[in-house]
Amino acid sequence: MKKTKIDHYTDKEALDFHKDKKPGKIEISSSKNMTTKRDLALAYSPGVAAPVRAISDNPEAAFDYTSKGNLVAVISNGSAILGMGNLGALASKPVMEGKAVLFKRFADIDSIDLEIDSENPDEIINSIKNFAPSFGGINLEDIAAPDCFIIEEKLKEILDIPVFHDDQHGTAIITTAALINALDISKKKIDRVKIIVNGAGASAMACANLFKKTGVPQKNITMVDRTGVIYRGRDNLNQWKSSHAIETKDRTLDDAITNADVFLGLSAKGALTKDMVKKMAKNPIIFACANPDPEITPEEIEEVRDDAIIATGRSDYPNQVNNLIGFPYIFRGALDVRSKTINEEMKIAAAHAIAKLAKEDVPDEVIAAMGGERPHYGRDYIIPSTFDPRLISVIPAAVAKAAIDTGVARKKIDNFEIYKDQLKQRLDPTVTIMQGVNSYIKKKQKKVVFADGEDENTLKAAIAFKNSDLGIPILVGKEELIKNQIKKIGYNENFDIEIVNSKNTAKREKYVKFLFKKLQREKGMLEWDCDRLVRNDRVIWASCMVACQDADAMITGNTRRYSSSLEKIIKVVDPRPGEIMFGLNLVVNRGKTIFICDTSVIEYPDAKQLAEMAKSAARVAKLFGFDPKVAFLSHSTFGEPATDRTKRLSDAVEILKNDKVNFKFDGEMQPDVALEEMYKELYPFSEIVGNSNVLIMPSQHSAAISYKMIKSMSRAKVIGPLLIGLGLPIEIAPLRSSTSDILNLASIAAYSADVIDYKKFS
């Protein structure tokens, strides 16, 4: 079991992140066009009167005419914030906004955070009851026990929408899924195992309750709190702890752990010792889920047992028990059938769906999204990855079906296969592309040169690259200036990161020799010309580092124009033989991902160049897990109107037909024809009309203008441009890129260094 380093950030970086652009993490946008007077009249007065009357006549119509059916309230009073304790309602707002972001990111659910400034359960219940009609569901968060039990129980009685305290039930569902599979792997029966639950808070009690509902007998679960074992007859037990009391002579964790099959820790660091682990039964199941430090580390367990199945709450070990696998998808299923509640059957259905998913073979598209090696069901893989894109179709469907079967759904689903397809379309695979890339490169630890080391955003990206354990960054620049920048960001100026420059005589002589050998005949350059380039130009220096194998990959740009950086790079690095260089952007907007080229290199490509771009772009799309559907774009569609400028595009289509490529393509066509499904019936002969995802533009001008307009005027996320066709893994960030943009390109450069065999091009 391998442990990797946890991401680290300074407080200043976290504060800057939350303050940047608009403060906070969420905003509200209109789902309808609001451009004309008619639009405004329909949205407000007088048009709004029609849905008002419809809802007055039939309250269920609110699901049809308002956002209620896809809107969840994320509610806290800040009495138990993320392990930090009672810091108050207002202090909990960043956490609740974060939860709202996760709902949207993983399940396309809109949510609003509401912080209630009260520690009186009755006041909180009354507040939620009064504004609940606005929402399709209520997610309670970070509310201390026992108030969280009281509030949830009462709200479930009085409201007819799902109420879910994630700290309890999210943890319980994921842990139960892990238990189901761990018992299967260890060949143990659920009705015979002895389970120790260390901790008696909200999540511990919820886990114990769901274990019982899943088949564990009450007498087989021993719960331990700070005082010791919760046994029948113990003094001063509240009603919730009393429900978990059992007849037993055990009084301490050390007593109870003897011959235990399962240990579930939701308590504190160090609660479980190696001596206790030794006393457990054969093939023990140990879920040490205290965060950030588990009750016992996997390394400590492995020192004394080689037969244990281990899970933790941390992302740097296998088998992470993470609520993110549960709550977004559980609410998605509940909302889609307009469920009145989230009952025990729905929770159990979610747990079994999660457990079953871990047993299934992991397909290639999931590997592309998750990164790394293909996981296989077993001791180190009992729970699916948080970033498994199959979660969105599997869990909501199971939850929705359970809601229908138990009679709490207001809406039926006639065809679950169609429903699963609709769920898949809510989220785009690109939301997990970088997670997959990063998971992969963490195992490879490539050296990546950040050529513009003195630039603040580049420096932040390099530090994030190091702290996220993505690889080994190398900064090019003056040491004193870089150290000052590091201090400005909030780190110690002696932060452990390599800095290089032309003062390194040995490297400089090596690079000059390499460059002179390459350029003396090719460009007629003298050795002192090469020396001047190496000494004075960081892009040249960094490119030589990669070419001379002192680094694996490189990222530059941000401080100069793209063309200027490329001009310097190609003095050092040649294109791949037989390929052309071009810029390729991934653009993600509203659940749709498209690849756009050429955005950066060839001003006016001919038909052959367009065809070669299509081949390379299709290859890259496949590398990222997409089935390429290539459209050659123009102002005309299939020859109408026909002009001399469209012939290059139709000729490129013919070239691909003759080459018998293994991807779908067509053209020329206008962009709306390529992207919008309504055009399919007009052009039924084309397989890609309405669903194209690789767009070959007629010129660099149109490509660059298009993607920059999309990026500037919409919510689109852009990754790139990726420099395709160069003989080494080097990427160029556009002028004034963000830290995130630079980090993504650095990761892709490191990824390319491993998955592409550059040696065959040299």
Give the residue numbers marked as catalytic: 44, 99
Distance in angstroms (rounded) separating the CA atoms of residues 181 and 359: 8
Residue 553's alpha-carbon distances to 111, 209, 509, 569, 659, in angstroms, are: 41, 52, 21, 13, 33
Distance in angstroms (rounded) separating the CA atoms of residues 588 and 603: 24
Instruction: Tell me which long-range contacts 182-188 makes (C-beta under 8 A, separation of at least 24).
Output: 182/262, 182/285, 182/309, 182/311, 182/382, 183/285, 185/309, 185/377, 185/378, 185/379, 185/382, 186/261, 186/283, 186/285, 186/309, 187/283, 188/261, 188/283, 188/285
Closest CA relative to residue 489, chosen from 450, 524, 459: 459
Residue 117 · residue 89 · CB < 8 Å: yes
Closest CA relative to residue 464, chosen from 248, 668, 742: 742
Residue 725 · residue 579 · CB < 8 Å: yes
Q: At residue 111, what are phi and psi to the nearest 5 degrees?
A: -150, 155
DSSP string, 427-458: S-GGGGHHHHHHHHHHTT--EEEES-TTSHHH
3-state secondary structure 339-388: ECCCCHHHHHHHHHHHHHHHHCCCCHHHHHHHCCCCCCCECCECCCCCCC
Residue 334 neighbours by CB under 8 Å, 6+ apart: 137, 162, 342, 346, 399, 400, 403
Classify 666 as helix, strand or coil: strand
Tokens 């201390």: give the residue.
144
Neighbours of 229 (CB within 10 A): 20
- 389 prior amide bond cis, ω within 30: no
Distance in angstroms (rounded) separating the CA atoms of residues 260 and 287: 13
DSSP string, 155-203: HHHH-SS-EEEHHHHHHHHHHHHHHHHHHHHTT--TTT--EEEE--SHH
Tokens of 629: 């559907």
Distance in angstroms (rounded) separating the CA atoms of residues 175 and 165: 15
Angle between helices 166-185 and 344-359 (to 10 degrees): 40
Neighbours of 250 (CB within 10 A): 17
Q: Sheet holding 285-288: strands in order across?
A: 221-224, 195-198, 262-265, 285-288, 309-312
Residue 750 · residue 554 · CB < 8 Å: no
Residue 751 neighbours by CB under 8 Å, 6+ apart: 437, 440, 441
Tokens of 712: 């500037």
Classify 526 as helix, strand or coil: coil
Q: Sheet holding 163-165: strands in order across?
A: 110-115, 71-76, 137-140, 163-165
Distance in angstroms (rounded) separating the CA atoms of residues 14 and 651: 52
SS3 content of the chain, % helix, strand, coil (to 5): 45, 15, 40
DSSP letter, residue 90: G
Tokens of 116: 């209630």
Strands 447-450 and 553-557: parallel
Q: At residue 138, what are phi and psi to the nearest 5 degrees?
A: -125, 120
Residues facing residue 311 across a β-bridge: 287
Tokens 């293909």: give the residue.
374
